[in-house]
Amino acid sequence: MPVTRYLERVKQMRPGRIMNWHVGLIDQAEAEIIAPCVDIISFDFVGDDDTIREVYGLERGVEDYVATYELLRSYATVLPHITVGLKGGRIAGEYRALDILEELGAEGLTFIVFIPTPGTRYAQREPPQVEEVVELLVEARLRFPTVPIHLGCMRPHGEYRDRLDPLAVRAGVNTIVSPARAAVTLARELGLDVDRREECCAVRLVRKG
């Protein structure tokens, strides 16, 4: 467990800080070790077996992500992250992830968007269409009407973000990390409160604000 190498240092840093851990598939022993240093856990939630094997190279399945999610929730607040287009820019298990989370429950949702990365098998792929991302955000808003929904920091920049972010505002997203200027302008025009904070979107769930 590599985390144990740094746990004492983390404990020394903990006083006065809110700690957000971004973990993968861990077991109960590991969860118990990190629990005293955790305020919130960011957890990538995947709803497609083929995506897990292809993207992460793991011989695991959706049931493993469900089991870990339920385990983590017994120790801390968990914010599931759904990467739109994780399978090389294609929509594969995102709606199934919503199905599962709707059944299990969630205190919040964070959506991030696939970005082609040089040197990887998906380097030449394109991000999902903006319209596909917005459709998923709208579906999430309808299914989770009272749950905070965040559009996280990982999403394409430039024209893509300029198009996506204002539509995300209209879709009912509560928080946008590093929003495009047009999204901020639109939010104000719609009479929404614009609250700027210098912190991870997950921390807002802990602060309940």
How high is the pLDDT of residue 4?
A: 66
C-beta separation of 160 from 126 below 8 A: no
**Tens of pLDDT along 53-67?**
999 999 999 999 999
User: Quick one: DSSP state of residue 36?
Assistant: G
For the chain, domains (ranges, CATH) are: 3-207 (3.20.20.70)
Predicted confidence at residue 209, as pLDDT, reads: 46
Instruction: Name the burial class of residue 56, with classes exposed (0-12), middle (13-18) and buried (19+) by CB atoms within 10 angstroms of its CB.
Output: middle
pLDDT given for residue 122 in this prediction: 96
Sorted by sequence, the CB contacts under 8 Å of residue 208 that are 6+ apart come out as: none
Residues with pLDDT less than 50, the chain: 206-207, 209
pTM (2 d.p.): 0.91
Amino acid 200: pLDDT: 66
> Are 46 and 80 a contacting pair, CB within 8 Å?
no
